[in-house]
Chains A and B, each alone.
Chain A
């Protein structure tokens, strides 16, 4: 075991992440096994994987974003509803006001950025506790989304429509074969995020202030700016998540989206990002997203109610956070 842990490649990837990948693979085959025992349709086929990936795209962007916020020691409960708000606002302008697609996509991102700025301002500059202020912006984004669309759901154009080109961000069909371009998109953004977090000044300060904000402040660093930035990054990614969400699912309903917060937070925590800040892993969040997506796909495939997913995610988060609390205690 020790040998395994000290192996160079394992060390490079991180032991926890190797375990997570193991869990992911195990889960996949467990679902396959259970499905075949239960006499359900086979779990191992390309369509399943595509459907699983569809779920992972928007969740992935949400999780990447919230990783930055959790790294500062905060939390953002508004990401899911902000994503929906962005998709609703963008979609309404596209379908009802006839704005060009590209502009609407940008508007999606802009909505995310604005909410990110709002959250960042409340936490970093006004000093409000992040969990409650972000819940307030959860309410705001929910309300604005439904007010903007007059409580109607909005459908973005299908792939075959003239304006449907944006869907190639998520998948492209060439000669009858569907290529999940969304995965490439997600991986590219994940790599960028990982570089921001680990290689730039912004990332360095975000992680450090999550660990000991006062020490960073007393080093003459503008902690407010960097803390705020984490929320802006998070909001931006929630805006991008809106694009891949409609790219995968087309229709957005007002008043929803808050359950995705939990999925995203669960993905991060599972991936080794500590709720108390200072410690974050983009790679871990990515694997966490895959696990959650697989979980929801598996639950559907076995014919269970989707609600089981909430229960299981809840339990997963408890275990992950408890493990984090324990390991911190042991270190001190």
Chain B
């Protein structure tokens, strides 16, 4: 048998490219390219407020995407993040507005609800061995229903920034003498750094990668695979809870029941574009962040060049198809090598 070691081309063998990852560089270039294209094509895109709203949408997609990256790396998926996020935001809003709880408690409720449903998903997948996509589909239905049931089918708004309760919005942007500072990006980047560290430098992260790579081998190494697989879904739930806060924080209008369907695809698409494989075992949080930027750019940029919201769904669909085709193609190439 001859030497089977992988060869690449000049680009992929470059030490810097190797360290950062070829896909990430390509995606980063795509982000820049997309930005430039929108910048040139649309004058409204050049406005500062557009940049702020671009970041606004990247917060909640970003949190969801970070969480779901962990599920994808185990070789699973979490489809409940979109409806889940809306459900938790509705619960929080209900508690604050209808029950008069402080906003801090409302936020806590978002996160706790997220963790509970993440726990539930993990139970279905790791303990009951249901296929992840079908288990989380059920949670998707359940959270969709529950969110709406909670508010009696009504839309509820979180306190606006002009009210004293509206302080939580300053987590994401502060208005200093008329200029909006998008400080939410700090939290998103912080989350990316921490979760990157968790994924690459801690045991849970290591085992989550290993589960996606070869679950049986990890089990034979005496590691409790059930626990760590379960954890991936809890992480996803926790971040969906954070996403709910971000969604409420940047959204000026009320949270509408039933508006979460399809949002999970933004997040899953972002993760896959960022290089996380649907087959499990590989993926990075930084790559996911880049994918999120692409998704937000499309969400915010397209209306600016005259393609309204309904076009976005089409574009999201196409981007998703492109991303998974690339992933499947990549894996096929690996298998043949």
Contact = CB atoms under 8 A, between A and B. Distances in A.
Do the two chains touch directly in the complex (Cβ atoms below 8 Å apart)? yes
Interface of A: 75, 77, 122, 126-129, 131-133, 135-140, 142-144, 146-147, 151, 254-255, 258-259, 262, 265, 275-276, 305-315, 317-318, 321-322, 325
Contact of A143 (B142, B149, B310): B310
Interface of B: 77, 79, 124, 128-131, 133-135, 137-142, 144-146, 148-149, 152-153, 257, 261-262, 265, 268, 278, 308-318, 320-321, 324-325, 328, 332
Q: Is chain B's binding surface mostly helix, strand, loop or mixed?
A: helix
Most buried by B among A132, A147, A308, A313: A132
A90 B311 CA distance: 19
B314 A139 contact: yes
Nearest first, the 10 closest Cβ-Cβ pairs linking A and B are: A310-B145, A143-B313, A139-B317, A143-B314, A314-B141, A146-B310, A311-B145, A140-B317, A314-B142, A307-B148
A259 B314 CA distance: 19
Contacts of A312: 145
Given A139-B314, A313-B141, A325 B265 contact: no
A128 B131 contact: no
B314 A127 contact: no
Given A129-B278, A135-B265, A325-B130, A305 B138 contact: no
Contacts of A275: 131, 134
A322 B149 contact: no
A265 B310 CA distance: 26
B265 A139 contact: yes
A56 B229 CA distance: 39
Contact of B320 (A139, A262, A308, A322): A139
Nearest to A328: B129
A140 B313 contact: yes
Given A127-B332, A129-B324, A147-B310, 11 more contacts: A140-B317, A142-B262, A147-B311, A151-B309, A259-B261, A307-B148, A310-B145, A311-B146, A312-B145, A321-B131, A321-B135
B142 A315 contact: yes
B149 A308 contact: yes
A254 B268 CA distance: 24
Contacts of A144: 314
Contacts of B135: 318, 321
Given A143-B311, A147-B314, A321 B130 contact: yes
B320 A132 contact: yes
A310 B87 CA distance: 13
B137 A151 contact: no
Given A128-B321, A314-B141, A254 B310 contact: yes
Contacts of B137: 77, 262, 265, 317
Contacts of A147: 310-311, 314
Contact of B138 (A128, A133, A258, A315): A315
Nearest to A310: B145
18 contacts: A132-B324, A136-B320, A139-B262, A140-B314, A143-B313, A143-B317, A144-B314, A151-B308, A151-B309, A262-B141, A307-B149, A307-B257, A309-B145, A310-B142, A313-B141, A317-B138, A318-B138, A325-B128
A128 B130 contact: no
A255 B314 CA distance: 12
Contacts of A254: 310
B146 A325 contact: no
Given A136-B320, A139-B262, A311 B149 contact: yes
Nearest to A322: B128
B141 to A, nearest CB: 4
A126 B325 contact: yes
Given A127-B332, A307-B153, A314 B317 contact: no
Nearest to A313: B141
A128 B278 CA distance: 10
Contacts of A136: 265, 316-318, 320-321, 324
Contacts of B130: 318, 321-322, 325
Contacts of B139: 314
A77 B136 CA distance: 13
Contacts of B316: 136, 139, 143
Given A275-B134, A314-B142, A325 B129 contact: yes
Nearest to B142: A314
Contacts of B141: 259, 262, 310-311, 313-314, 317
A270 B309 CA distance: 36
Contacts of B145: 307-312, 314
A143 B308 CA distance: 10
B255 to A, nearest CB: 15
B143 to A, nearest CB: 8
A75 B149 contact: no
Contacts of B312: 143
B279 to A, nearest CB: 9
A70 to B, nearest CB: 10
B321 A258 contact: no
A136 B320 CA distance: 6
A133 B324 contact: yes
A75 B133 contact: yes
Nearest to B83: A310
